[in-house]
């Protein structure tokens, strides 16, 4: 799964290292413009600061301080956009800074990284290839190869990066790819308009085509509910159960996962079934939620939405999930916000049931448009409480009020769930 946290730290470190040393300000008016713009940057008014600095720099085109301050304003705005998962906008900021300092290769690096996270892989590759034997560039070139199904290319880039003294995280990437390569090298490939599928050659003929057809339907159906239709191609891998376990190291109760790629165990399945179709809709929902929120989403909401879409296709499971939730068994929202991977089968079942119950209540009570706004708010890196309060402002509701209404709908007291 893509890890943006370490990337943002890298970006911040690069940002700090790019504080270019200005030569003197020159005219007093230029110094005044620079001082005013710096104050605006400190207040977070990047657009206004950039507007003033661009106007000033056009008046004093040989003033090194204004050039430096304008580049720094672009970098500050880029950092803000990165933190908000606005990767395309950040890439443009780095391009604007590079126009001021064409010889600064780190602007090219950061533009390439931003384009990678925007899933604009061709443009990202073009930027990063300009940097030669750079450990950081090779790391992201490897990630592009990995995300587009070229494991050999990924390993080649990461091994070269490792010899250059790159981030220790590259060792983990190499180990992961080396674990997957023996399995995937024996697999066949297929394609549809939006999906690239890699599947075990021993799976029944025609099953991969049925999977692609179901995913294309999910693309339109789930996309309509969540208000997003991705433009980047989505990788899907179909394994035997044994291969799935060895590649993913997932819990024994896992029926699939999304870690930047949809991965499903299909051993023993001979044709498309309502249950398999439901799983495909479930995992595709995770694709959209990850993109909309930039990964900033509590697990209960992520899994709750995925189950809503799953049960539209596989109604039999919905009856089990809809069974009454016993008061004494309710999990705290904090425990439901973290990963379910470490839970045993029984606890995981309760966590999924409770997640579905609460999320389904929210969609039925407030509608899909409100849920879309909750997800969009989460992309601004706010907590779920803030995202819900903003999305439900017309109802004058916050997260505690939503929980009270949900519990009341179950016939339970309005107090919080037990920790």
329 and 275 co-located in one domain: no
* CATH number of the domain enclosing 11: 1.25.40
**Domain boundary, last residue among 128, 152, 167:** 128
- What is the reported pLDDT for 246? 76
* 2-48 pLDDT, tens digit each: 344 444 444 444 444 444 444 444 445 777 777 877 888 888 888 89
Residue with tokens 């995770």: 286
Q: What is the pLDDT of residues 216-246, one digit of tens each?
A: 999 999 999 999 999 999 999 998 877 887 7
Between 12 and 72, the more confident residue is 72
Quote the domain boundaries for residue 411. 294-419
Same domain? For 317 and 386 the reply is yes
Q: Which residue has the higher pLDDT, 168 or 86?
A: 86
The three-class DSSP label of residue 195 is strand
Q: What's the pLDDT score for residue 345? A: 84
Q: Are residues 120 and 136 in the same domain?
A: no
Report CA torsion sign: 3, 4, 5, 8: positive
Give the per-residue pLDDT at 268: 76
Q: Looking at the structure, do residues 234 and 349 belong to the same domain, yes or no?
A: no
Residues whose CB falls within 8 Å of the CB of residue 285, separated by 6 or more in sequence, listed in order = 218, 222, 226, 305, 306, 308, 309, 310
Question: Does residue 321 carry a pLDDT above 80?
Answer: no
118 and 4 in one domain? Answer: yes
Rounded to whole angstroms, the maximal C-alpha distance in the chain is 78
pLDDT at residue 295 greater than cutoff 60: yes
Are 308 and 283 members of one domain? no
Report the SS3 class of residue 257. strand
Q: Cα angle vertex 264, ends 337, 354, to 5°?
A: 30
In the chain, % of residues over pLDDT 90: 64
Task: Using a pLDDT cut of 70, give the percent of the chain over it.
Answer: 88
Which of the residue ranges 9-18, 49-58, 363-372, 402-411 would you say has the lowest mean pLDDT? 9-18
Q: How many domains does the chain have?
A: 4
Residue 224 burial class via C-beta count within 10 angstroms: exposed 0-12, middle 13-18, buried 19 and up: exposed
DSSP code, position 204: P
Placement of tokens 């005219």 in the chain: 27
Whether residue 22 sits in one domain with residue 80: yes
Last residue of one domain, picked from the residues 234, 256, 290: 290
Q: Which residues of 352-372 are buried (b: 16+ CB within 10 A; e: fewer)?
A: bbbbbbbbbbbeeebeeebbb
Q: What is the pLDDT of residues 351-367, one digit of tens each?
A: 999 999 999 999 999 99
Do 231 and 195 share a structural domain?
yes
Per-residue pLDDT tens digits for 82-124: 999 999 999 999 999 999 999 899 999 999 999 999 999 999 9
Top pLDDT among 359 and 49 is at 359
Are residues 27 and 117 both part of a single domain?
Answer: yes
CA-CA distances (angstroms) from residue 371 to 181, 259, 300, 376?
39, 23, 14, 9
Report the pLDDT value the prediction gives residue 8, as an integer from 0 to 100: 43
Q: In what order do the strands lie in the sheet with 262-265?
A: 187-191, 195-200, 234-239, 262-265, 257-258
Query: What pTM did the predictor assign?
Result: 0.84
- Could you tell me if 181 and 199 lie in one domain? no
Q: What sign results for the dihedral spanned by CA atoms 297, 300, 303, 304?
A: negative
How many of the other CB atoms lie within 10 Å of CB of 87?
22
Domain end, chosen from 263, 290, 317, is at: 290
Judgement on whether residues 174 and 196 belong to the same structural domain of the protein: no
What is the CATH classification number for the domain harbouring 238? 3.40.30.160
* Structure confidence at residue 288 (pLDDT): 98
* Composition of the chain by helix, strand, coil, percent to 5: 65, 5, 30
Q: Mean pLDDT in the chain?
A: 87
Q: Compute the average pLDDT of residues 268-282.
A: 90
Containing H/E element for 363? Answer: helix 345-366
76 has a pLDDT exceeding 90: yes
CA–CA dist 348, 253 (Å, integer): 9
Same domain, 83 and 141: no
**Integer Cα distance of 375 and 294 in angstroms:** 9
pLDDT in tens, 200-224: 888 888 999 999 999 999 999 999 9
Q: Would you state the structure tokens that stand for residue 132, as one six-digit string?
A: 């030669």
Rounded-to-integer distance, Cα 285 and Cα 267, Å: 23
Number of CB atoms found within 10 A of residue 405's CB: 16
CA–CA gap between residue 252 and residue 59 (Å, rounded): 66
As a whole number, mean pLDDT of residues 152-166 equals 93
The whole-number pLDDT of residue 255 equals 78
The closest alpha carbon to 118, from 74, 164, 158, 84, belongs to 84
């Amino acid at each position: 799964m893509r890890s943006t946290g370490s990337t943002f730290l890298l970006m911040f470190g690069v940002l700090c290292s790019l504080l270019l040393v200005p030569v003197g300000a020159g005219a007093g008016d230029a110094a005044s413009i620079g001082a005013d713009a710096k104050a605006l940057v400190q207040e977070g008014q990047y657009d206004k600061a950039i507007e003033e600095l661009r106007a000033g720099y056009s008046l004093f085109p040989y003033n090194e301080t204004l050039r430096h301050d304008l580049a720094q304003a672009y970098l500050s705005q880029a950092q803000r956009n990165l933190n908000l998962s606005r990767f395309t906008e950040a890439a443009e900021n780095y391009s604007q800074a590079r126009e001021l300092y064409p010889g600064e290769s780190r602007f090219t690096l950061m533009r390439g990284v931003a384009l990678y996270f925007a899933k604009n892989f061709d443009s990202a590759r073009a930027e990063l290839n300009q940097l030669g034997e750079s450990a950081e560039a090779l790391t992201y070139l490897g990630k592009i190869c990995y995300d587009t199904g070229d494991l050999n290319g990924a390993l080649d880039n990461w091994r070269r990066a490792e010899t250059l003294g790159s981030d220790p995280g590259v060792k983990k990437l190499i180990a992961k790819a080396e674990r997957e390569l023996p399995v995937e090298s024996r697999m066949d490939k297929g394609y549809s308009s939006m999906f690239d599928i890699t599947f075990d050659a021993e799976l029944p003929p025609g099953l991969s085509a049925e999977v692609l057809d179901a995913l294309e339907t999910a693309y339109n159906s789930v996309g309509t509910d969540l208000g997003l239709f991705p433009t980047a191609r989505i990788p899907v891998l179909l394994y035997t159960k044994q291969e799935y376990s060895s590649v993913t190291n997932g819990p024994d109760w896992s029926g699939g996962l999304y870690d930047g790629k949809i991965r499903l165990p299909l051993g023993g399945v001979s044709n498309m079934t309502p249950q398999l179709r439901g799983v495909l809709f479930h995992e595709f929902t995770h694709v959209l939620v990850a993109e909309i929120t930039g990964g900033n989403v509590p697990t209960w909401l992520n899994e709750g939405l995925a189950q809503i879409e799953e049960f539209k296709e596989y109604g039999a499971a919905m009856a089990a999930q809809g069974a009454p939730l016993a008061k004494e068994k309710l999990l705290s929202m904090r425990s439901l916000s973290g990963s379910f991977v470490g839970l045993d089968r029984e606890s995981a079942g309760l966590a999924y049931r409770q997640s579905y119950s609460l999320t389904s209540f929210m969609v039925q009570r407030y509608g899909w448009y409100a849920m879309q706004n909750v997800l969009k708010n989460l992309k601004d890196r706010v907590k779920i409480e803030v995202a819900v309060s903003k999305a439900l402002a017309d109802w004058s509701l916050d997260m505690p009020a939503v929980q009270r209404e949900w519990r009341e709908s179950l016939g339970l007291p309005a107090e919080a769930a037990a920790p």
